[in-house]
DNA sequence: CGGATACTTGAGGGTTGTCAAAATATGTGG
DNA sequence: CCACATATTTTGACAACCCTCAAGTATCCG
C-alpha cells in the first residue's frame, strides 16, 4: 500500500456514508496522516488516554475492548480497513475503553485539529463522520440484543454474518462467501459474553451442520441462508444504504 | 410546564455538552416544537419508521427497545427529561428499533429540517448534538460490558447507580439519594438480559443487605458506597464533565 | 370494588461456566 | 528447515447461575 492510497481508504469509507464532491475529496486527500505499523496484540489507544488524533485502519484488524478489575474482558467490536474506531475522541476527551490490534496492522493517525478544520469547512464531511459514529452506535445496540436475549448459537452465527457483510461492503472479501477471520475462540467469547470452551462447542455444531468452514485464518460460509436464518441476521442496522440527504 | 420552558429543557441538556453563546441559545429557543402528551406504554417511534422530526423528553420517561420475532425483547436504554432519544434519526433514515413510554410522558417534536438549519449555522450546536449521540454510544458500550461479563447483581446495581446519577445531573432527583423509578421488574429484566423472576430475587438481596429501598415508584439508595462498589460504577462513561473544546 | 398488572416464592431443569488435560497449530531461533 | 516453546483448539466431567413453569399475593386503577 503506497501513501497516495491511504486517503483512498478513508474516501471509500465515507462514500458509503455520503456523496462527496471533488472538492471534498481533495480536502480529504490533503489531510496529514502519520502511518504506523503495529504488531499483533498491541494497544493503539488505552483507557484513560486523551488522544489528539484519530486512527484510520489501513490494513489488518483492530478490536475495541474494556478489561474489568478482576480480568474479565468485554470486546465491543472488531474494525477492518476503512474504519475509524476512535472517531468519538473528536468529541469526548477521555477514552473509556481501549483499542488494540488483533493481527499486525497499519494505522494512519489524523490530528483532531485537521479533522475539525475540514469539518468546519465541509459540512457534508462532518455529517458523514457524524453518521459513522451513529452507525457505530447502531452496531453496539444490536450487540446488546445479542448479549441480552440471544443464545450462544445465535450470537456466534450473527457475528459471522456481520463480518462477512462488512468485508464485502469495503471490497475486501476474498469472494462472495469468504473473508479473513483472524479472531481466536477466546476473543470470540469475550466479544459475545461466552467462554472459550463454549465457543468451541458451538463452532463444532455450526461446522458439523454444514453452515461454515473455518480454515487457517479465514471464514467460509457454506450455507448462507441457514446461517442468516439461525442468526436472524438483518443488515439494516449497518445502514449500508438508504442514507439521508442533509442538505 | 409552560411553553417557554420547553426550550429550557433542551438548553439545559446541551449546556452539559458545550458552552452556548446567547445567540445560540436564542436560536434554540426559536426552534419550532410540537408538544404531545402520551399515555403509558405507547410507542413514540417504531422500528421501520422514517421519522421527519426528533423527540425531546419534557416530562416522564421513555425507553428504547427491540422485539425479536419470537417476542424476546431487549431494552437498550431509559430516557429522562432533556434526553433526545432519536437524535440519530437526523442521519439515518430508517429506525432499527422502537422508542416507547414507560409512564405518561410529554414530548416535544422538533422537525429535522429546523435542527439541520440550526446545525448549519451554529457549529457549536451541531457539535453538542454530535457529542450527545457519542455519549449515547458510550452508554451502549458499557451496557455491553454488563450484559456480556457481569453477574445479575452487578448489572442491577449498576443500572440503579446510573439512573440516580443521571437524574441528579439534570436536577430532577428528589434528593441526593432518591429519584423516580417507574420501571417494572419485567422491564428491568428486558434491559439487563434477565427474567422477571431473577430480577425479583436479586432486588430482594439488595434490599435485605440494606443497599437500596424501592417504595412506590421511587428509588432510594441507602448505602451508596457499597452499591457503587458492587456495581463497580464509574461515571466516566457518562461524560458529564471534561468536555472538549472544538473551536 | 373488581379486574388487571405487578410482585413474590418454590421446585426443578438447562444452557453455560469452571476446572483440567490432551491434541493441534503457530511462531521463533538456531 | 527443524526443534522447541507458546498459544490455541478440543474434549470430558461436573457445577452454578439463571431460566421455566406454576401458583399465590399484593398493588394499581377505573
* A239 interface with B at CB cutoff 8 Å: yes
Q: Which CATH number fits domain B3-142: 1.10.3720.10, 3.30.413.10, 1.10.645.10, 2.60.120.10?
A: 2.60.120.10
> Which residue among B131, B133, B149 places its CB closest to the CB of A137?
B133
| Degrees, nearest 5: CA angle B160-B163-B169 | 140
> According to the model, what pLDDT value does residue B242 have?
54
| Residue numbers of A between 74 and 93 with CB closer than 8 Å to B | 74, 76, 88, 90-93
Q: Which residue of A has its CA nearest to B76?
A: A141
Q: pLDDT exceeding 70 applies to what percent of chain A? A: 97
Residue of B nearest to A52 (CA): B244
**Distance (Å) of CA A82 to CA A154, A240, B116, B140:** 27, 14, 27, 23
A202-A203-A206-A212 Cα dihedral, nearest 10 degrees: 160
Structure confidence by residue, pLDDT tens digits, A20-37: 999 999 999 999 999 999
Determine the Cα–Cα distance for residues A12 and A20; give it in Å rounded to an integer: 10
**pLDDT confidence of residue B243:** 56
Any idea of the CA torsion for B44, B46, B51, B53, to the nearest 10 degrees?
Answer: 20
Choice among A11-15, A202-206, B101-105 with the minimum mean pLDDT: A11-15
| Residues of A with Cβ-Cβ distance to B244 under 8 angstroms | 90-93
- Residues lower than pLDDT 50 in chain B: 246-247
List, for residues A94-113, the tens digit of each pLDDT value: 999 999 999 999 999 999 99
Contact between chains at B74 and A148 (C-beta distance less than 8 A) = yes
pLDDT of residue A247: 42
Q: By the CB < 8 Å criterion, does A193 face chain B? A: yes
Chain A residues within 8 A of B90 when measuring between CB atoms: 244, 246
CA-nearest of B64, B45, B60, B56 to B103 is B60
Q: Which CATH number fits domain A151-238: 3.40.50.2000, 1.10.340.30, 1.10.10.10, 1.10.3720.10?
A: 1.10.10.10
- Strand-pair category, A73-79 with A62-67: antiparallel
Q: Could you check: is the Cβ of residue A73 within 7 Å of any atom of nucleic acid strand C? A: no
Nearest chain A residue to B69 by CA: give it. A232
Torsion angle of alpha carbons A139, A143, A149, A150, nearest 10°? 110
Mutate to test the interface with B, among A16, A53, A84, A149 (most CBs of B within 10 A): A149
Model confidence at A243, pLDDT cuts 50, 70, 90, reads low
A200 confidence band (pLDDT: 50, 70, 90) = very high
Q: How far is A116 from chain B (nearest CA, A)?
A: 7
Count CA within 13 A, CB hemisphere, residue B6. 21
More confident residue, B241 or A63: A63
pLDDT digits (tens, 9 = 90+) for A83-92: 999 999 999 9
CB-CB under 8 Å, A135 with B134: no
Q: Would you tell me which residues 201-220 of chain A have a C-beta closer than 8 angstroms to some C-beta of chain B?
A: none
Q: Which residues sit opposite B79 in a β-bridge? A: B62
φ, ψ dihedrals at B70, nearest 5°: -90, 10
Residue with cell 451496557: B143
Q: Which of B79, B148, B240 is the best substitution to test chain A (most A C-beta atoms within 10 A)?
A: B148
Residue A197 Cβ under 7 A from any strand C atom: yes
pLDDT at B247: 42
Confidence band for A114, pLDDT divided at 50, 70 and 90: very high
Beta strands per DSSP E along chain A: 34-38, 43-45, 53-59, 62-67, 73-79, 98-101, 105-111, 178-180, 212-215, 218-221
Percentage of the residues of chain A whose pLDDT score is greater than 90: 89
CA A220 to C1' D15, whole Å: 36
- Residue A109 pairs in a beta bridge with A34, A55
A135, closest residue in chain B (CA to CA):
B92
Is the pLDDT score of A228 beyond 50?
yes
CB atoms B127 and A91 under 8 Å: yes
Angstrom distance, B203 CA to C10 C1': 17
CB < 8 Å to B148, chain A: 74, 147, 190-193
Straight-line distance from CA B36 to C1' D9, in Å?
57
How confident is the prediction for chain A on average, in pLDDT? 94
Residues 2-61 in A contacting B (C-alpha not used; CB under 8 Å): none
Residue A197 CA and nucleotide D13 C1' are separated, in Å, by 13
Contact between chains at A93 and B242 (C-beta distance less than 8 A): yes
DSSP structure class, residue A243: B
Q: What is the pLDDT of residue A244?
A: 54
Using a CB-CB cut-off of 8 Å, the residues of chain A touching B51 are none
Domain locations in chain A as residue ranges: 3-142, 151-238
| Chain A residues with CB-CB distance to B94 below 8 A | 236, 239, 242
Q: What is the 3-state secondary structure (H, E, C) of A159-206?
A: HHHHHHHHHHHCCCCCECCEEECCCCHHHHHHHHCCCHHHHHHHHHHH
Map A41-55 to HEC letters. CCEEECCCCCCCEEE
Amino acid at each position: 500500500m503506497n501513501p497516495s492510497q491511504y486517503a483512498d481508504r478513508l474516501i471509500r469509507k465515507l462514500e458509503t456514508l455520503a456523496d462527496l464532491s471533488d472538492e471534498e475529496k481533495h480536502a480529504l486527500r490533503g489531510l496529514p496522516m502519520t502511518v504506523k505499523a503495529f504488531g499483533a496484540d498491541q494497544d493503539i489507544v488505552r483507557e484513560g488516554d486523551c488522544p489528539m488524533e484519530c486512527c484510520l485502519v489501513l490494513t489488518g484488524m483492530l478490536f475495541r475492548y474494556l478489561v474489568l478489575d478482576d480480568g474479565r474482558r468485554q470486546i465491543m467490536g472488531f474494525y477492518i480497513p476503512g474504519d475509524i474506531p476512535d472517531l468519538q475522541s473528536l468529541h469526548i476527551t477521555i477514552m473509556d475503553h481501549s483499542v488494540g490490534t488483533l493481527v499486525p496492522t497499519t494505522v494512519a493517525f489524523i490530528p483532531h485539529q485537521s479533522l475539525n478544520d475540514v469539518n468546519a469547512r465541509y459540512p457534508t464531511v462532518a455529517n458523514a463522520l457524524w453518521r459513522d459514529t451513529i452507525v457505530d452506535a447502531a452496531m453496539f445496540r444490536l450487540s446488546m440484543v445479542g448479549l441480552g436475549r440471544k443464545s450462544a448459537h445465535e450470537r456466534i452465527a450473527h457475528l459471522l454474518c456481520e463480518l462477512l457483510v462488512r468485508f464485502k461492503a469495503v471490497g475486501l472479501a476474498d469472494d462472495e462467501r469468504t473473508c479473513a477471520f483472524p479472531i481466536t475462540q477466546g476473543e470470540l467469547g469475550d466479544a459475545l459474553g461466552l467462554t472459550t470452551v463454549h465457543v468451541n462447542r458451538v463452532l463444532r455444531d455450526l461446522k458439523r451442520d454444514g453452515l461454515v468452514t473455518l480454515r487457517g485464518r479465514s471464514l467460509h460460509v457454506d450455507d448462507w441462508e441457514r446461517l442468516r436464518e439461525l442468526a436472524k441476521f438483518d443488515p439494516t442496522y449497518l445502514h449500508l444504504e438508504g442514507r439521508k440527504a442533509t442538505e
